[in-house]
Amino acid sequence: MNKEQHQAMVDLTRMTIGVLDGWRLETEQMRILLGLPENVRARAFQKFRDGRDALPAEPEVIRRAQYLLRIADALRTTYPRNPHMGAQWLRQRHRRFGGRTPLSVILSGDELDLTSVLAELDCTFAWDRTGSHHVAYPGA
């Protein structure tokens, strides 16, 4: 990994941890959401916050971080005047999740559950996920 790639991973890490901190999650919850191994401890998260270390450059971890950032962005769009509503929305029961909270859904640890919550918040993601695509017809 070159210096630019490492800096991009540090930036992704800091943004992601900042979002998870804003949602008032515990270290163990963060570890589960990011798909990190059980041996990753609280002091590693402090290094992530400080920019002294980056998340592992593994495709699954990167995808999960990107999904979490997209969820945070969708919550900011949904609640533009109250940044605390995103954390509250995550903790409210939702009928589309069978009465579960979105947070409990994404804490199952399954990447598919992350995408389900993202699809609930971001209709463009839901559209892409169904395989629907805009088709340009000749002469249109």
Which comes out higher in pLDDT, residue 75 or 134?
75
- Give the tens place of pLDDT for each residue, 39-81: 998 899 999 999 899 999 999 999 999 999 999 999 999 999 9
Average pLDDT for residues 3-17, to the nearest whole number? 93
Structure tokens at 104: 């409990």
Contact 22, 76 (CB under 8 A): no
| pLDDT score, position 135 | 44
Count helices and strands in the chain by DSSP H and E runs: 8, 0
Question: Is residue 132 predicted with pLDDT exceeding 50?
Answer: no
Residue with tokens 């210096």: 3
Q: Is 109 helix (H, G, I), strand (E, B) or coil?
A: coil
Tell me the C-alpha distance between 28 and 113, whole Å.
17
Contact 89, 102 (CB under 8 A): yes
Give the N- to C-terminal CA distance of the chain in Å, as an integer.
45
| pLDDT score, position 123 | 78
Contact 68, 20 (CB under 8 A): yes
Contact 54, 6 (CB under 8 A): yes
Between 15-19, 41-45, 90-94, 99-103, the lowest mean confidence (pLDDT) is in 41-45
